[in-house]
Amino acid sequence: MDVKSVIKESITRRDFVKRSTMAAGGGLLMGSLPIGASAYAAGSDTLKVAVVGCGGRGTGAANQALNADPGVKIVALADVFRDRLDQCYNSLAQRHLESGRLDVPEEHKFVGFDSYKKAIPLADVVILTAPPGFRPAHFEECVNQGKDMFCEKPIATDAPGVRRYMKAAEIAREKKLNVVLGLQRRYQTNYREGFKRVAEEGLIGEIIAGQAYWNDGGVWVRQRENWMSELEYQVHNWFYFTWLAGDQILEQNIHNIDIFNWFTGEYPATAQGMGGREVRTGKEYGQIFDHNAIEYTYPSGLVLSAQCRHQRNTWSNVGETLRGTKGTLTYAGFNNNAVIRDYNGNVLYDHDGLNDPNPYQQEHDELFKAIRTGGYIDDTDYGAKTTMTAIMGRMASYSGQMIQWDDAINSDAQLMPYDVTAETAPPVLPDENGFYPVPVPGVSEPH
């Protein structure tokens, strides 16, 4: 195996804790700027932004960056597909072209697998919203070029990718680069207020168990076009390929799982679980499962039951419940609420989030405030930790085995090629009938 194929370094849980900062969530750390850096006077200097990954999330993040600071200007767009780039540009143009804050001439519209390398040098701040498998390479390039960034979650789809990201993150910290990660619950008012009352005030006592859910009917499916190569098709329909998205555990359930890592200051010692495909079985759904149920056990003894499911006409819930020795904290759906009850049913805290700020916007507000004022935000450590937690759960579900943390983080199971070009062969291929290989618990190795 080529030396670049796997960045290998044995990492124990103790090592990981030493590298990780147990932040109470996304936050602004004020301090002096590193040598060679300069703060931008509020609103007076232009902050040039490049968007790498121009799908719906990239377009949304670009709008949020523009709303966060009057001095932000979008100067470059990069995507594998020209139509996605054009859709992003046209959407942004409807709101921002006349103001001059969308300043992307044709020569700054970059298409292809290497497009990120051309867009990043043009910017002060980079938005990384391509499919997750590409994140380690894109993040590494931003770090090498000294760029502040908004980086969507997860940060990788396999353990080698997490290790690659962690190495780049060490350099980012040395350079004092601002990195905001798209686990937006850490920027969400109701979650922050719940954290204060649970982790700081002990209102529910010691956390001993919990449930984390992302159960709903599913997301988009993108059809194959005649002009697409097999690689292009998989990238176009990326949610359904493990090497690109990591399964629903990494793409969605990661938000719910992150709450338990955050509130406890721990990450799991073991994971075991189950999953499969019962409803979403067509070839257009690639190779991922349509349901997963993972039981995580933390060093303190906390047991977390995490579920994610994409099946229509079934019970839906997106939220979390933390169970303590004195009571419970429940977050339900997208209602910006937080309710704490004791075991007699008395409500101890009820957060009314009707007028709370949009957490997706709040991420960008705090990022650009840090850049303007010389503050410092580093979300890289908990981003790596929570991504690895989700990968560990997928390994348990796909294999049917009990997975230990140290085995997971040190795994050589590489799903994502180190460097993807237009000539790269996809790591999974369809059979003669167009169906992709699907993991079989009890047969498949953990990956």
pLDDT tens, residue by residue, 279-301? 999 999 999 999 999 999 999 99
pTM value is 0.93
In degrees and rounded to multiples of 5, residue 44 shows phi and psi of -95, -30
Extract the tokens encoding 365.
Answer: 């507000």
Measured CA to CA in angstroms, residue 382 lies from 242, 274, 296 at distances of 22, 25, 17
247: left (phi over 0), alpha (psi -120 to 50) or beta: left
- Residue 104: predicted pLDDT: 98
- Residue 147: predicted pLDDT: 98
In degrees and rounded to multiples of 5, residue 131 shows phi and psi of -50, 145
Decide: 25 and 187 in contact? Cβ < 8 Å: yes
Q: Is the pLDDT of residue 15 over 70?
A: no
DSSP H/E element including 291 = strand 291-297
Measured CA to CA in angstroms, residue 152 lies from 93, 220, 436 at distances of 23, 19, 27
What number of CA atoms fall less than 13 Å from residue 3's CA on the CB side?
A: 0
**59-109 pLDDT, tens per residue?**
999 999 999 999 999 999 999 999 999 999 999 999 999 999 999 999 999
Higher pLDDT among residues 249 and 11, named by residue: 249
**For the chain, how many helices (H) and strands (E)?**
14, 17
d(CA 205, CA 391): 29
* Angle of the 159-174 helix axis to the 380-399 helix axis, nearest 10: 180
* Angle of the 380-399 helix axis to the 254-264 helix axis, nearest 10: 120
d(CA 366, CA 184): 12
Q: What length does the chain have? A: 447
Domain ranges of the chain: 13-185+361-378, 189-355+388-409
Other Cβ atoms within 10 Å of 36 Cβ, number: 8
- Architecture of the structural domain at 189-355+388-409: 2-Layer Sandwich (3.30)
Chain center to CA of 133: 11
Q: Which pLDDT band, with edges at 50, 70 and 90, does 333 fall under?
A: confident
Q: What mean pLDDT value characterizes the chain?
A: 92
Q: Is the pLDDT of residue 30 over 60?
A: no
Candidates 215, 246, 261, 218; CA nearest to 21 is 261
- Residue 16: predicted pLDDT: 60
**210-267 pLDDT, tens per residue?**
999 999 999 999 999 999 999 999 999 999 999 999 999 999 999 999 999 999 999 9
Look at residue 39 and give its three-state secondary structure. coil
Candidates 230, 271, 51; CA nearest to 152 is 51
Q: Is the pLDDT of residue 182 over 80?
A: yes
Parallel, antiparallel, or unpaired for β 148-151 and 179-181? parallel
Q: 423: burial class by Cβ within 10 Å (0-12, 13-18, 19+)? A: exposed
Candidates 302, 263, 315, 287; CA nearest to 394 is 287
Share of the chain above pLDDT 90, in %: 89
- Residue 429: predicted pLDDT: 98
Candidates 421, 422, 372, 382; CA nearest to 178 is 372
At position 15, the amino acid (one-letter code) is: D
Higher pLDDT among residues 175 and 13, named by residue: 175
In degrees and rounded to multiples of 5, residue 222 shows phi and psi of -110, 130
- The dotted CATH code for 13-185+361-378 is 3.40.50.720
d(CA 309, CA 289): 9
d(CA 75, CA 239): 28
Q: Which pLDDT band, with edges at 50, 70 and 90, does 39 fall under?
A: low
What number of CA atoms fall less than 13 Å from residue 44's CA on the CB side?
A: 5
Q: What is the DSSP string of 293-329?
A: EEEEE-TTS-EEEEEEEE-TTS--EEEEEEEESSEEE
